[in-house]
Structure 1
Amino acid sequence: MKQWQKIIVTKNQTLLETMKIIDDSSLQFAVVVDENQRLLGTVTDGDIRRGILRGEGLEVPISLIMNPNPIIAKSGQKPYIYKRFMKLKMLKQLPIIDDSNKIIDILFMDKLESILNKNTVILMLGGLGTRLRPLTNDTPKPMLRVGNRTILEIIIDGFKQYGYTNFIFSVNYKKEVIQNYFQNGEAFDVTIEYVEEDKRMGTAGALSLIKNRPTQPFFVMNGDLLTQINFDQLMDFHLEHESIATMCVREYEYQIPYGVIETDGTDLVTIKEKPIQRSFVNAGIYVLSPDVFDYIPTDEFYDMPTLFEQLIEKEKKTSVFPIHEYWLDIGRMEDFNKANNEFKELLI
């Protein structure tokens, strides 16, 4: 018997019987069905308390206490669809019914989270940080501090708040600083494995060094980014579009400091004075499906844009995920100073 089947009660069972079933199950929830297992309503601890406050006795049928119009969902959807719906409605549990209103499952958010958020996060941490010297003479860039925390700690916390706790660190320059600080991740309530690059491999080439390859879609992110992106929404987007690879993009705008001339042959058509141009740029955050490993060469330099170009050439489904949340690439000294002014305030 599945756990949710233990919390099924019939409409004629008493309030007292239902209370005992709820207490014994530890799920704080019960569903009321008819003789054909069709859903009639649900019962929560709150429903019981409201019934008692109304003066209902413990021997009344539960049909007088239950919520006859609970939020439900039809069967046949993928788990991440249910998860997104439950978050939207702020539900702890969700009965799943078929076309005849027969209950076939009950989803619980805490268990759904534990199932869905086993996706691995791979962080690329091997860069030299040349443009940030002398700060990076003895310290790898991801270990520089913004406020009182390292960039890498902030990135980890960003994933942790959405339940992603399985990390692989791809390290090279000053790798011992990172490894000594984070070790296996236990002190940070995460698990960390390490991939060591003994030469520059690129953001995609380093993936070929992973021995225990992820079997579910996984994140790849540069280790010098600060962002407040919703990683759940990113993963949902990737799954919903059934892509082999998804690239996060940012809108970048720049102003041409001159009047731009449009012509038709030798005819002057228009003059646009110092126009603003807008383009999408690579934000350094990706979700990849395990099939991408088939397209990554072994033990050679291979960058992520090159991987995407190959996937497009092979007519594989690739997607872009526009991000509008805070995002900052800490590549230069002015970016680092900006982070210590802007992002530190966002963390307060």
Structure 2
Amino acid sequence: MKNWKTVAVPPDTPLETAIGALDKGGLGIVLVTDADDVLRGTVTDGDVRRALLRHKNMDTPVSEIMCATPQVADLNWSREKLLAAMESTRLLQLPVVDAGRRVVGIETLHDMLGRRRLDNPVFLMAGGFGKRLYPLTQDCPKPMLKVGDKPILELILQGFADAGFHRFYISTHYLPEVIRDHFGDGSRWNVSIQYVHEEEPLGTGGALGLLPHDEIDLPIFLMNGDLLTRVDYRSLLDFHERHEGSATLCVREYENQIPYGVIQSDGHRITQIIEKPVQRCFISAGIYMLSPELVRRVAPGERIDMPTLLEREIGAGRDVNMFPVHEYWLDIGRMDDFQRAQQEVLNP
């Protein structure tokens, strides 16, 4: 049974602090307790993502976004009863409480069953030129630039491998031999790697047409090879499967403050003056989950970018869902991003 104290917060805790506890705790849950350790609610990955979808401010008290009636386990439950409860509710964690509803621990499905390997393929896009990082990319593909002592692409692959995924495809174009020589068949990481090569750039979605479609029998991850993130890939997979969409797009909330007073009016009459308002929107995080059927709809040699491909799916009446990312995320597109990554890998 896990020590729960590291993921316990009081009800007035700001959302930003709760997200930090969720990420650092590594249990996929935060317990909201009072001064007597009585459970008042829980906050899971899904609760946080729903709050982000509603554009909740980071100073929102966690009591406003928590589940106030969470499923709990009794201190005396057997292992079989715990597993049955998790199975019936599709929960990955259960707070364990005594008769007074005071928390005594947390049981996780991972600990009870052990981390199993998952067969979903992972497709990493590593063919770009990285022109904005020149001259660093003169003799090195951008995904192979080192952050700390490892290439960006290796950090990505290791993150998926640590989560239990082992079937990898890597798309190459610029200096493909550098990538192939480093990763080989993947055996160093206890995974398998196959390569698809774009003779000419096909766009961010076109490389899907080069995959062996008969081997893509499960939802597939697609991820740009220049990202650093600690997103929970298993939660993303679970979300995609529960919502049964053609695709799931990871998104980040982006804030833009207008540096002027914004005027609202009714004709020539001013109704309101808003000083330096903040606009919020969602941007693509460069991480996708795609159904096998979508992958097969991309023909070999077709040139298409992911936004166009997803718009095509939406236009055909297929569901494309979004999955807000609250975990660490950095797109290494410019030199200052690369320098920032070097600092953050040393001080995670």
TM above 0.5: yes
Query: Residue 157 of structure 1 corresponds to which residue in structure 2?
Result: 158
Query: Residue 84 of structure 2 corresponds to which residue in structure 1?
Result: 73
Distance 2:146 2:83 in 1: 46
The letter of the residue matching 1:207 is: L
Q: CA deviation at 1:69?
A: 7.8
Distance 1:314 1:69 in 2: 45
Query: Residue 259 of structure 2 corresponds to which residue in structure 1?
Result: 257
Distance 2:253 2:343 in 1: 22
Percent identity over paired residues: 45
The letter of the residue matching 2:130 is: G
**Preserved CA contact (<8 Å) 2:209 2:296:** no
Q: CA deviation at 1:345?
A: 1.8
Q: CA deviation at 1:201?
A: 0.8
Distance 2:233 2:206 in 1: 23
**Superposed structure 1 runs of 4+ greater than 4 Å apart:** 66-69, 74-78, 85-88
The letter of the residue matching 1:90 is: T
Q: CA deviation at 1:267?
A: 1.8
The letter of the residue matching 1:342 is: E
State the structure with more CA Rg. Answer: 1
Query: Residue 113 of structure 1 corresponds to which residue in structure 2?
Result: 116
Q: CA deviation at 1:199?
A: 0.6
Q: CA deviation at 1:295?
A: 3.1
Query: Residue 215 of structure 1 corresponds to which residue in structure 2?
Result: 217
Structure 1 residue 242 corresponds to structure 2 residue 244: yes
Query: Residue 196 of structure 1 corresponds to which residue in structure 2?
Result: 197
Distance 1:160 1:167 in 2: 9
Return the match for 2:107 from 75, 89, 114: 89
Q: What does 1:324-339 align with in structure 2 at a 5 Å threshold?
A: 324-339=326-341
| Structure 1 residues 239 and 135: CA distance shift in structure 2, 3 A | same
Aligned length: 261
**Preserved CA contact (<8 Å) 1:86 1:92:** no
Q: Deviations over 1:240-284 (max 9, x none)?
A: 111110000000011112221112222222111221111000000
Q: What does 1:1-16 align with in structure 2 at a 5 Å threshold?
A: none
The letter of the residue matching 1:71 is: L
Q: CA deviation at 1:189?
A: 1.8
Return the match for 2:282 from 275, 280, 283: 280
The letter of the residue matching 1:167 is: F
Give unmatched runs, 5+ long, in structure 1: 1-65, 94-107
| Structure 1 residues 187 and 86: CA distance shift in structure 2, 3 A | farther
The letter of the residue matching 2:280 is: R
The letter of the residue matching 2:320 is: T
Q: More deviation in 257-266 or 167-176?
A: 257-266
Q: CA deviation at 1:131?
A: 0.2
Q: Deviations over 1:270-311 (max 9, x none)?
A: 111221111000000001110102432431210111111111
Distance 2:201 2:184 in 1: 23
The letter of the residue matching 1:109 is: L
Q: Deviations over 1:146-182 (max 9, x none)?
A: 1111101110111111101211000001111001111
Distance 1:92 1:154 in 2: 23
Q: Secondary structure at the match of 1:202?
A: coil
Q: Secondary structure at the match of 2:326?
A: coil
Q: Secondary structure at the match of 1:234?
A: helix
Distance 2:302 2:236 in 1: 29
The letter of the residue matching 2:116 is: E
Q: CA deviation at 1:188?
A: 2.1
**TM-score with structure 1 setting the length:** 0.70
Distance 1:76 1:230 in 2: 20
The letter of the residue matching 1:239 is: E
Distance 1:337 1:92 in 2: 36
Q: CA deviation at 1:343?
A: 3.0
Query: Residue 268 of structure 1 corresponds to which residue in structure 2?
Result: 270
Q: More deviation in 245-254 or 187-196?
A: 187-196
Structure 1 residue 129 corresponds to structure 2 residue 130: yes
Give unmatched runs, 5+ long, in structure 2: 1-76, 96-105
**Preserved CA contact (<8 Å) 2:119 2:166:** yes
Root-mean-square deviation (Å): 2.4
